Amino acid sequence: MNGIQPATSWTEARQAIDSLFKTIQETPLSANIWSLVEEQVAANLGKPMWTFFEEAQDSAATYDDVKALVDRTAAALYEAGVRKGSHVAVMLPNIPQFPATWLAIARLGAVMVPVNIAYTGRELYYVLTDSDANFLVIHSDCMSAYAALDGEAPFASDNVLVVGAAPPGSRDLGELMESAPDLPAGLPQPAIDDLVNIQYTSGTTGFPKGCMLTHRYWLTLSLVAAMRGGQDEQATNILVAQPFFYMDPQWLTLMAMRGGGQIFVARRASSSRFMDWVRQYDIHYCLFPEVVYQMPHQDADSDNSLKRISIFGFSKSQHADLERRYNTIARESFGMTEVGPALFTPREATHMVGSGTCGIPAPFREAKIVDEHGEEVGPGQIGELCIRGPGIMLGYYKKPEANETSFYGDWFRTGDLFWRDEQGFHYIVGRLKDMIRRSGENIAAREVEAVLREIPGVLEAAAVGVKDSTRGEEVKAYLVLQPGMTQRDVTPDAVFEHCKNRLAAFKIPRFLEYRDVLPKTPSEKIAKQKLVAEKPDLRVGSYDRVASAWL
């Protein structure tokens, strides 16, 4: 197997881990993200930094090239009016201009607001207005969402910077990069605890909430990610197969830089081509989707250079086979946009393979499990996981009520149920939050329900997750119609068409069931736990949008 040999005992391994944690936590952080980039560029002149493949032509860049691209991007943004503290929404696919724009925004001391490229005009409008965005950097392929705003954008069209063919009234970012003068000297620099991202994540309140993330957040996360593998994982080739508008590619980029490594970025995810990418680009580390393991076995599965992979929610009974099949070390962890690294299982914890653990608290993090009153519980007892430590989010942007309920003092409430064993390893039991997780996407049931209730003739709606072997979960909607209305008045096709115009594709329900009534709690809230418990297969009795048939 690629990687380390087992320690003679867990006690010996724990001593090595404690020593590593001490080294990580004593490593000084850079002044801000741009300072880190400058330091790593100086240390890695001429070395490859990234390759964006699956383009018309692979786009490769050295550390020097990346710095030059960020320099020009920062100059263009400054010329457009971006200043320290400006909020810049970024709606781009996986192209080099995305990380270049993020790093340029960080250099200027501005704030990036990443936007999912699948968002409709309604969802884009929400993010722009909720985040107080002053500018929008958008790809030409996404302009239909902007056009759907129909002149209601919260800023002038001059503040829309287009990557690609710019329509009339907007500005071409590429042209601006060519014509803009160099940045003036002496610009105010961001402090380590200044805001740099408003990163949207769905939560229990339904509509996405903006996590306020600082330079310290990203510096801490990337430091832990880069160093937790030890010296064996320096100069690492990292596969990035997730969208850059999510947090993972952002910290993976900084992780690679810290070790003098490089990232290889796919335009979009593909389970069937994933291992081909791993072999073609000599990948050493990646976030490994369980769906890849579910693909048919290939003789070449073990023929790779993987040193370690990160897995999330993987079947514990198949963990050992995963390591054997791909000839690598696979370790579970637990993190959230709100806190960054929370728990992880060290490479050395070979005795925990197949246990289902998410690990021990990461460097810079403390963890505790509490009961419904916020009191800490002991080993073996189930409660809510809480995390604290330097660099976690400042809070949710403009959401004082959510902030009040999301913290016990400086402890962030994850909303997830856990227990821990006597060794300090943590195990997830389930979610308190009403979330559906489809193919790595977090979908707030309340947002889906709000859209469903907009449909004329709908009285009540509930959305739940249906287990799916490929995507983890699919969305199922339950509808109760207004008195006198029937299914012929509110057809499945009409429901799905309405959702298509109001929700990103990954949020649209796949399954639909009509009900006369929905079960309720004593407080008259819909009792989803009763819906889920009604039958072993929630697909039965539903209309399947994909199959266009009743099941």
Domain ranges of the chain: 33-214, 435-550
Angle at 446 between CA 441 and CA 447, to 5 degrees: 65
Which H or E run includes 143? helix 143-147
Distance CA 109, CA 385 (A): 33
Structure tokens at 233: 């994982």
DSSP assignment letter at 506 = G
| pLDDT value for 98 | 98
**527 falls in which pLDDT band (50, 70, 90)?**
confident
User: Tokens 């063919």 — which residue?
Assistant: 165
Q: What are phi and psi of 536, to 5 degrees?
A: -65, -30
| pLDDT greater at residue 426 or residue 447 | 426
**% residues pLDDT > 90 (the chain):** 75
Separation CA 7–CA 19 (nearest Å): 15
157 pLDDT above the threshold of 70: yes
With respect to CATH, is domain 435-550 assigned 3.30.300.30? Answer: yes
Of 103-117, 163-177, 485-499, 515-529, give the lowest mean pLDDT range: 515-529
Report which DSSP code applies to 394. Answer: -
Give the pLDDT score at 240.
97
**Residue 441 pLDDT more than 90?**
no
Length of the chain: 551
Pairing of strands 411-420, 426-431: antiparallel
Query: Mapping DSSP to helix (H, G, I), strand (E, B) and coil, where does residue 29 land?
Result: coil
323-373 confidence digits (pLDDT tens) = 999 999 999 999 999 999 999 999 999 999 999 999 999 999 999 999 989
Two structure tokens written together for 487:
């299914």
Average pLDDT, the chain: 92
pLDDT at residue 206, as a whole number = 56
- Report the CATH fold assignment for 33-214: Rossmann fold (3.40.50)
Highest mean pLDDT among 37-46, 202-211, 526-535: 37-46
Lowest mean pLDDT among 37-41, 71-75, 190-194, 484-488: 484-488
pLDDT for 523 beyond 60: no
> Quick one: average pLDDT of 507-525?
85
Average pLDDT over residues 261-278: 94
Sign of CA dihedral 111, 114, 115, 117: positive
Q: Residues 159-201: pLDDT tens digits?
A: 999 999 888 878 999 999 999 999 999 999 999 999 999 999 8
Q: Alpha-carbon torsion 197, 314, 53, 507, what sign? A: negative
Question: Does residue 231 carry a pLDDT above 80?
Answer: no
CA distances from 295 to 148, 273, 290, 376, 470 (A): 39, 10, 9, 42, 10
- Asked whether the predicted pLDDT for residue 205 surpasses 50, the reply is no
**Mean pLDDT of the 227-235 span:** 76
**pLDDT score at 203:** 46
Taking the C-alpha atoms of residue 460 and residue 481, their distance in angstroms, rounded to an integer, is: 7
Give mean pLDDT, residues 459-473: 91
What's the rounded mean pLDDT across residues 136-161? 93
Angstrom distance (rounded) from CA 272 to CA 325: 16
Average pLDDT of span 495-507: 94
Q: What is the mean pLDDT of residues 491-498?
A: 96
Q: Predicted confidence band at 530 (pLDDT cuts at 50, 70, 90)?
A: confident
